[in-house]
Structure 1
């Protein structure tokens, strides 16, 4: 599973090879996605899920500000948005001062940490309950194996997005 995750990571980062910082932040399609943002998002998602593996559901907090409901969030009428949601959205963009080299280095650090955490897990079927959130089935739990499967799928999906962005930017394909 770790080899498959590494292959998906490689496909994602391959799509950024040779891009300038400016190109990595461009959004060349109608999507709000950019190549550098995809790498940032994948690294953050992997980091969050591996914290879940190591610490359980307390590692993922989806608290809302007082007086704000999920219905407010979905309708876009919330008077305030939680910081975790703002950070999640920022994770899809290259922010001022960020470089592609820096984003890729963080991605590599997260990957190395994932390898360490998984090597220390004695049992891939070990599971934790998922924290309450509208996108999680009530009462569901994820095993370590399920987390890895999710990360492989998400990373591969975003590698495909990155291929489209790269081809749109300069006509090159990574594969």
Structure 2
């Protein structure tokens, strides 16, 4: 991941938190084969490769939103379940590479975006009517989202081979 060493204050704190959570998530897939990354090891539909794919997609869409494209939040519903699975032809290396590219873009944008800029959210059952989100809140959401899925990944990896992100 790119980490802009010139950032200070709030921007540096937000980026450091996001980079740390991405690192936890990436750690859970270290050393796995594509087959292992595609396995469901719990009652959940989640697999490690699918989580990497999902988090990359969510981060990319939220950052398009942060650039002033509220419609970015209306995409991705078409095949929700497959956002969490590795599909035929997908590789863990390819998913990680895509995630790295998204992360690099986000890291660069954190340095330049107006954190107070705010955009309307599209109508959706999970957004309150008329809601808006600031860029700052988008970044906080990405930290929380990545952290939550890093926790999911840790459980899946521990079920796979006993490895843990921490401990």
**TM-score normalised by length of structure 1:** 0.84
- Contact map agreement 1:56 1:129 (CA 8 A) in 2: no
Q: Give 1:99's aligned residue.
A: 91
Alpha-carbon distance between aligned partners in 2 of 1:135 and 1:158, rounded to the nearest angstrom: 18
| SS of residue paired to 1:124 | coil
Q: Does 1:129 align with 2:142?
A: no
Alpha-carbon distance between aligned partners in 1 of 2:47 and 2:152, rounded to the nearest angstrom: 9
From the CA coordinates, give the structure whose radius of gyration is larger.
1
Alpha-carbon distance between aligned partners in 2 of 1:157 and 1:4, rounded to the nearest angstrom: 13
Q: Give 2:55's aligned residue.
A: 42
Structure 1's consecutive aligned runs of 4 or more residues displaced over 2 angstroms after TM superposition are: 58-62, 86-89
Q: Gapped runs of 5+ residues in structure 2? A: 1-13
Q: Give 1:109's aligned residue.
A: 101
Q: Give 2:133's aligned residue.
A: 142
Give the C-alpha shift of residue 10 in structure 1.
Answer: 0.4
* Number of aligned positions between the proteins: 153
Give the C-alpha shift of residue 87 in structure 1.
Answer: 3.5
| SS of residue paired to 2:77 | helix
Q: Gapped runs of 5+ residues in structure 1? A: 63-83
Alpha-carbon distance between aligned partners in 1 of 2:109 and 2:127, rounded to the nearest angstrom: 24
| SS of residue paired to 1:33 | coil
Q: Does 1:58 align with 2:71?
A: yes
Using CA pairs under 8 Å that are at least 6 residues apart, name the structure with larger relative contact order, 1 or 2: 1
Give the C-alpha shift of residue 174 in structure 1.
Answer: 1.8
Cα-Cα RMSD: 1.1
Give the C-alpha shift of residue 85 in structure 1.
Answer: 1.8
Give the C-alpha shift of residue 115 in structure 1.
Answer: 1.3
**TM-score normalised by length of structure 2:** 0.88
Q: Give 1:170's aligned residue.
A: 161
Alpha-carbon distance between aligned partners in 2 of 1:109 and 1:87, rounded to the nearest angstrom: 23
Give the C-alpha shift of residue 58 in structure 1.
Answer: 2.5
Q: Give 1:80's aligned residue.
A: none
Q: Can you list the C-alpha shifts for 1:120-164, whole angstroms capped at 9, x where unaligned?
A: 21x211110111111100111100110000000010000000000
Q: Give 2:3's aligned residue.
A: none
